[in-house]
Amino acid sequence: MSLLEQGLIHIYMGDGKGKTSSALGLAVRMAGCGGKTAIIQFMKGWEYSEVKGLSYLPGVHLVQTGRPDYVYPDAVTPEDYTEAERGLRAAREFLSSGEYDLVILDEISVALSFGLVRTEEVLELIQEKPRHVEIVLTGRNPPPELVALADLVTDMREVRHPYTRGILARRGIDC
C-alpha cells in the first residue's frame, strides 16, 4: 500500500548549495512515516557522508553510480556512460517495481548536461512512473523539457559560498 495517492515531480536546480540535501531531507521524512525511498546518485561513485547516514534509515535503498573521482565535462570516459546507463536501469527497476513511494534521481541534470544520459530517456522514465510515486530530480541546468513537466521547481541560487574565501568542502556539511 502506497502512502501517496498521486506522486508529483520535483526539480531542485541552480548553482546554490542544497539540492541533494533537500532531496535527502524528503527521504528522511518518507522514512519517518513508514514510506520507502529509492535513491540513485549519478556521477557519485565515492562515499559521501550521506551514504552512511542513509544506511540507518529504514526503507531507503541507495544506488551510487559513477567513478570514484570527479568527472569533468571535457574528459568524459566510456566508464562514465556505462555508469550512467547503470543508474537509468536502476531507476527503471525501482519505478517499475511499484514498491517505492519516493524515487530520487540525484545529479541527473548534471548527467544530462554532460551528455551521459538523453533527455528523452528521463522523460520516458517520468511518463511511465506509477501514479503514486513522487520523483525528485536534482542538479544544475536541467533541460527546459523537464522543468516544464515538473510540478515543483526550486532554483537554489548562490548568494555567498565559503569556497570563495578558501574554505574547502567540510566533512558532515559538504561531503
Is the confidence at residue 1, as pLDDT, over 80?
no
Does the 9-165 domain belong in CATH 3.40.50.300?
yes
Strand order of the β-sheet with 37-41 is: 60-64, 37-41, 102-106, 134-138, 9-13, 152-155
Map out the domains of the chain as residue ranges: 9-165
Residue matched to cell numbers 512512473: 129
- Length of the chain equals 175
Helix (H) or strand (E) holding 9: strand 9-13
Query: What three-state secondary structure class fits 140?
Result: coil
Report pLDDT digits (tens) over 86-131. Answer: 999 999 999 999 999 999 999 999 999 999 999 999 999 999 999 9
Residues 6 or more apart whose Cβ sits within 8 Å of residue 175:
48, 49, 169
